[in-house]
């Protein structure tokens, strides 16, 4: 059976203007990512990995080329339809966590499901279960300021996973964590990938993160320099 293609890009190009100079962040990238892959986008600063992640997530628009998420070509969607696709199909784990400071860990995890219209009993049960699985039982009612950086990052992962997207996009997931917390987070995401079939595509500079990946896409000067698949 052929694996389901979650992400497909065709001729993906992004050009920025800096002081009237054209900067080519991506240059004609063709890519397919299938269900349950665990993919690292790596490369030096300016290689295009964050740009590619933002385009896949529908947070930015390409200058040229096409993107499909779960079979939908996102360039054909209205702003409202694109927002709905992000809400239903894509989980984001931002480098700065982006937790709502006035909400508890539990309420932060529930938030996306609240926007999705998930019933209160179900979203509470799903949130409590994922927080427990991520080692945050007993911390559900603490606000972000009362949590460590590693705990906040796990809440951010819980929020992305609990909403049951088809793909999760962490941007530099270990950037603000020490090596122990970073390793624990990668072990967690790998376990979610293997046990629950969650598809992950993350950008990173961290060699430890790259070691955990089962597929490593190396970018340089806006193009794919190498695409390495590793045995499970």
Name all domains of the chain by residue range, CATH numbers in brackets: 5-97+166-229 (3.40.50.300)
| Residue 73 to residue 67: CA distance in whole angstroms | 6
Average pLDDT, the chain: 91
Q: For 40-50, how does the pLDDT look when each residue is reduced to its tens digit (9 = 90+)?
A: 999 988 899 99
Supply the pLDDT for residue 1.
54
Contact 24, 222 (CB under 8 A): yes
| Residue 4 to residue 217: CA distance in whole angstroms | 19
Name the residue with tokens 């293609």: 5
| Residue 229 to residue 223: CA distance in whole angstroms | 18
Q: Which of 73, 53, 65 is nearest to 15 (CA)?
A: 65
Supply the pLDDT for residue 134.
82
Supply the pLDDT for residue 162.
86
DSSP-based helix, strand, coil % in the chain, nearest 5: 40, 30, 30
Q: For 143-169, how does the pLDDT look when each residue is reduced to its tens digit (9 = 90+)?
A: 999 999 889 988 998 898 888 899 999
| Residue 202 to residue 96: CA distance in whole angstroms | 14
Tell whether the model's pLDDT for residue 17 goes beyond 90. no
Supply the pLDDT for residue 10.
97
Q: Which of 192, 174, 218, 210 is nearest to 47 (CA)?
A: 218
CA distances from 116 to 65, 101, 120, 128 (A): 30, 21, 11, 17
| Residue 220 to residue 208: CA distance in whole angstroms | 20
Segments in the chain forming alpha helices (H): 49-56, 79-89, 105-116, 120-133, 149-162, 179-196, 207-212
CA distances from 172 to 52, 149, 176 (A): 13, 14, 9
Tell whether the model's pLDDT for residue 88 goes beyond 70. yes
Residue 5's DSSP bridge partners are: 34
Contact 67, 9 (CB under 8 A): yes
Tell whether the model's pLDDT for residue 2 goes beyond 70. no
Rg (the chain; Cα; Å): 17
| Residue 173 to residue 175: CA distance in whole angstroms | 6
């Amino acid at each position: 059976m052929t694996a389901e293609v979650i992400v497909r890009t065709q001729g993906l190009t992004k050009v920025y203007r800096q002081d009237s100079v054209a900067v080519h962040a991506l240059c004609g990238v063709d890519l397919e990512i299938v269900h349950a892959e665990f993919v690292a986008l790596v490369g030096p600063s300016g290689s295009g990995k964050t740009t590619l992640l933002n385009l896949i997530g529908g947070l930015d628009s390409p200058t040229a080329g096409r993107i499909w998420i779960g079979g939908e070509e996102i360039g054909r969607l209205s702003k409202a339809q694109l927002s709905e696709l992000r809400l239903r199909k894509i989980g984001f784990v931002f480098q700065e966590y982006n937790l709502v400071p006035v909400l508890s860990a539990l309420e932060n995890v529930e938030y996306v499901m609240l926007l999705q219209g998930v019933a209160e009993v179900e979203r509470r049960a799903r949130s409590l279960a994922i927080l427990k699985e991520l080692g945050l039982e007993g911390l559900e009612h603490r606000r972000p300021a009362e949590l460590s950086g590693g705990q906040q990052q796990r809440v951010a992962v819980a929020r992305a996973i609990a909403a049951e997207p088809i793909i999760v996009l962490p941007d530099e997931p270990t950037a603000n964590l020490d090596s122990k917390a970073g390793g624990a987070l990668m072990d967690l995401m790998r376990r979610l990938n293997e046990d629950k079939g969650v598809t992950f595509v993350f950008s990173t500079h961290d060699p430890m993160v790259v070691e955990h990946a089962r597929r490593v896409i190396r970018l340089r000067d806006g193009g794919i320099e190498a695409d390495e698949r590793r045995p499970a």
